[in-house]
Structure 1
Amino acid sequence: MQFSTDVENVFTQKEIEEILKDEQNFYIEHAEKNWLNRYFKIKAMANETKVPSIISSISDMPHGSSNFKKSKTEMYALKTIQASEWLEKLDSAIQSLSPIEQELIELKYLRKRNDGSRYSDEVIYPQLYIGRKKYYKMKREALDILGRKLYGAFAERGYS
């Protein structure tokens, strides 16, 4: 309790609100950039079934050596598994949202129109039977929650 009093003495209320807004914007951007905008690419990777060439490589290096080349079959299998785990983590975070927030995220980020583009906000909020102002507030809150739940879940390399 003393800490919050000390913070209030150091920062003005306006400065505290600005810091919290910046933090919220960080998590919203993280959810969109690192998760939702990658959804279709990762989903395709998870469903991809490539058949690598069947050429074996023989090496005299022990299997645990850093110079040992992994087989192409193993690399494809690992990518598919990692993509599936990524999708499960995203789905779990989405399931933690309220039903209307889940539907909002689904309509906005996880579905595409017939021409391959995303639905616009103006198309989505009437489908949810809510007003424009409430829609944008709910969207920010849902993205903030997702960003916080997903932040640091996976190292971002390998999922780009």
Structure 2
Amino acid sequence: MQFSSEVENMFTQDEIEEILKDEQQFYIEYAERKWLDRYFKIKAVANETQVPSIVSSISDMPHGSSNFKKSKTEMYALKTIQASEWLEILYSALQALSPIEQELIELKYMRRRNGGSLYSDEVIYPQLYVGKTRYYEIKKEALEILGRNLYGVFAERGFS
């Protein structure tokens, strides 16, 4: 009990709020840069059905050797599986959000206009029946929660 009161006296309320604000911004940027900005590319890899050219190679090197070349087919299959797993993780993390937060993230980051561009905030918030200020509050909160839920997931699962 004494330790916590000593810690509370180490920082002012303004310092604590600044630390929390920086932490929140970290998770927001993490969700956007590491997950949502990569969504369409990863989705394309997961949905690709093109089979690479099949070329067999013969080697006298053991399979575990660093000089052993993996087959193109094997590498292609692994990329497709990893992309599918990545999408499953993202979709699972989205389920932890409230319905309005889910819809906001899907409209803003996971759907494109006919020309291929993303929808602007000004187009989305009327669709959610919220005002501009409330929209940005929801967006900020949704991105933070998403970032927290996704942070470190690959390290825990052994993905790179």
Would you say same fold, with TM above 0.5? yes
For 2:125 and 2:52, the matched residues in 1 are separated by: 45
What one-letter code is carried by the residue in structure 2 that aligns with 1:108?
Answer: K
Measure how far apart 1:51 and its partner are.
1.9
Partner of 2:56: 56
Partner of 2:84: 84
* Aligned 1:2-151 pairs, distance under 5 A: 2-151=2-151
Which structure has more relative contact order (CA 8 Å, sep 6+)? It is 1
- What are the Cα deviations for residues 94-146 of structure 1, in whole angstroms up to 9, with x where unaligned? 01100010000000000011111111111111100111111101100000000
How many residue pairs get aligned? The number is 157
1:73 aligned counterpart, secondary structure: helix
| Identical residues among aligned pairs (%) | 80
For 1:6 and 1:113, the matched residues in 2 are separated by: 54
For 2:3 and 2:122, the matched residues in 1 are separated by: 43
For 1:22 and 1:78, the matched residues in 2 are separated by: 36
User: Which runs of 5 or more residues in structure 1 are unaligned?
Assistant: none
| Contact in 1 for aligned 2:28/2:143 (Cα 8 Å) | yes
For 2:2 and 2:128, the matched residues in 1 are separated by: 43
4+ long deviations beyond 3 Å: 1-4
Root-mean-square deviation (CA), in Å? 1.5
Compared CA separation, residues 2 and 107, structure 1 to 2 (3 A)? farther
